[in-house]
Chains A and B, each alone.
Chain A
Amino acid sequence: MKSKLLAFALCMTALSSANIEAKIAAKNAKPFQISKEKSAITFFGAEDTSEIDLVGPTSAFTQLTFTQDQFSFGKGITPNLASSEFLLEKGTYYISFTGTFQLSGSSATAAYYDIALQLGPNFIFVNTDSVNFTVDNPFSVSSLYKVIEVKKPTNLSIVARCTSTGDTVLLTTRSISIEKFS
């Protein structure tokens, strides 16, 4: 009799446990949506169309701003008030940038400009492109993609400068995407 009672109790426990779980799931009504949120990727994305003049020649980089259409999810990527610096927590990140660069004026020679990443005080991944009104391309869509590793909380910026004497490069439409890999 004791064993029958024990078996019955065990059975009722299992049933009520399943029932409670089902009720909780039904009450929350979003058990799968929660799992989707868990599977979402930590990211930040933004764009900007305000004009930035890169006046050459200079060795100083200008931080680019990204104030419009900001989308983000997760923790670990925090823009500053001007949206020109992004505080990254420890981790590995995929950075992508696209911008339209335009020669301002009608210089006959090529105007060279650098696009780079600034990670803390360091300038890394310095790329060089050019625009030229007379014999080349007055407009250029420049993009960069880079995976970086951040070992402690560090500010990231996309920076640019014009290195040609007497030239100004105008930056208009641009976007940044930061995706946390791990």
Chain B
Amino acid sequence: MKFKFSALVFSVASLTFLGYVCPDLHAKNAKTSFFSASDNAAQTFSGPTTTPPVTPIFIPLTFTQHLHHQGHSIKSNGDQFRLKQGTYLVSFTATFTAGSLVTVAPTYFDIALQVGSKLFFVNTDSHYALNLENPTFSTSTGIASFNKIIEIDDDHKDLSVVVRNTSSFQNVTATTRSITIKKLKSK
């Protein structure tokens, strides 16, 4: 009788391990990793101030507020996101305001992604620069958004959303902005 009981207990224990522990692990893996953050601290990007103009370098946007995340694939240090190997969907939205220090003219600025040292997906937007002393134009502010799927081949890579202003003697300021990074697939 003791043997029967032991066998029964052991069988139940084995089945419990095989049938319940493993599905738990599967369920954990089924969760989608994501990271989202926003910011509304004004970040101003100055255009070239020399003649001939020297195009400024790209500068990362910060995302320090309203951080939400799930999983361990994406970590943030404010303006860079460390991503593990895999494929990710990156979504970005921001309000940009153009301002002119000298005249009223279109202001051009580039928004791009930087992974490690590689710059890619360079989009160009423009706003009509508002003369700061005579603010008569209403088209100086606009929203720019993008969605992009990226692949991280190495163990870890740092991702940033970067901006540069290519218009001489004019400023572009990023105000409200958000980023959402969603892991689509592990490597």
Chain A positions within 8 Å of B, measured between CB atoms, are 3-4, 6-8, 10-11, 13-15, 17-18, 21, 31-33, 35-41, 43, 45-47, 69, 71, 73, 96-100, 102, 133, 135-141, 143, 145, 172-173, 175, 177, 179
Q: Interface code B57-98, partner A: CB below 8 Å = 1, 0 otherwise?
A: 000000000000000000000000000000101010000000
- Which chain B residues border A179 with CB–CB below 8 Å? 89, 184
Q: In the complex the two chains form, what is the Cα distance from A11 to B2 in whole Å?
A: 12
Option from B1, B14, B139, B186 in Cβ contact (under 8 Å) with A36 = B186
Query: Which of B25-33, B46-54, B154-162 lies at the binding interface?
Result: B25-33
Q: In the complex the two chains form, what is the Cα distance from A15 to B11 in whole Å?
A: 8
Interface centre among B148, B149, B150 (most CB of A within 10 A): B149
- Size bin of chain B's contact surface: 35 or more
Q: In the complex the two chains form, what is the Cα distance from A148 to B30 in whole Å?
A: 24
Residues in B1-44 with C-beta less than 8 Å from chain A: 1, 3-4, 6-8, 10-11, 14-15, 17-18, 22, 25-26, 29-32
- Which chain A residues border B177 with CB–CB below 8 Å? none
Option from B17, B106, B120, B123 in Cβ contact (under 8 Å) with A100 = B123
Chain B positions within 8 Å of A, measured between CB atoms, are 1, 3-4, 6-8, 10-11, 14-15, 17-18, 22, 25-26, 29-32, 87, 89, 91, 106, 108, 111, 120-128, 139, 142, 144-151, 184-186
Given known A47-B121, A173-B123, contact A33–B142 (CB-CB < 8 A) = no
- Which chain A residues border B146 with CB–CB below 8 Å? 98, 141, 143, 175
- Quick check: A41 and B184 within 8 Å, CB to CB? yes
Given known A41-B32, A137-B139, A179-B89, contact A21–B184 (CB-CB < 8 A) = no
B18 to chain A, nearest CB (A): 6
- Which chain A residues border B123 with CB–CB below 8 Å? 98-100, 141, 173
- Quick check: A21 and B125 within 8 Å, CB to CB? no
Sorted nearest first, the 3 A-B pairs with minimum C-beta distance are A45-B149, A96-B147, A7-B3
- Quick check: A177 and B89 within 8 Å, CB to CB? yes
Given known A35-B30, A36-B29, A40-B185, contact A137–B106 (CB-CB < 8 A) = yes
Given known A35-B26, A137-B139, A137-B142, contact A14–B11 (CB-CB < 8 A) = yes
Q: In the complex the two chains form, what is the Cα distance from A102 to B185 in whole Å?
A: 34
Given known A18-B17, A97-B147, A100-B123, contact A11–B186 (CB-CB < 8 A) = no
- Nearest B residue to A133 by beta-carbon distance? B106
CB-defined A-B contacts under 8 Å, sample of 14: A4-B4, A7-B8, A32-B29, A36-B186, A39-B26, A39-B30, A40-B186, A41-B32, A100-B123, A133-B106, A137-B106, A139-B108, A141-B145, A177-B149
- Which chain A residues border B120 with CB–CB below 8 Å? 69
- Quick check: A173 and B122 within 8 Å, CB to CB? yes
4 A-B pairs besides A7-B3, A15-B10 with CB distance below 8 A are A36-B186, A98-B146, A145-B147, A179-B184
Q: In the complex the two chains form, what is the Cα distance from A13 to B10 in whole Å?
A: 10
B58 to chain A, nearest CB (A): 15
Q: In the complex the two chains form, what is the Cα distance from A41 to B31 in whole Å?
A: 11
Q: In the complex the two chains form, what is the Cα distance from A98 to B149 in whole Å?
A: 11
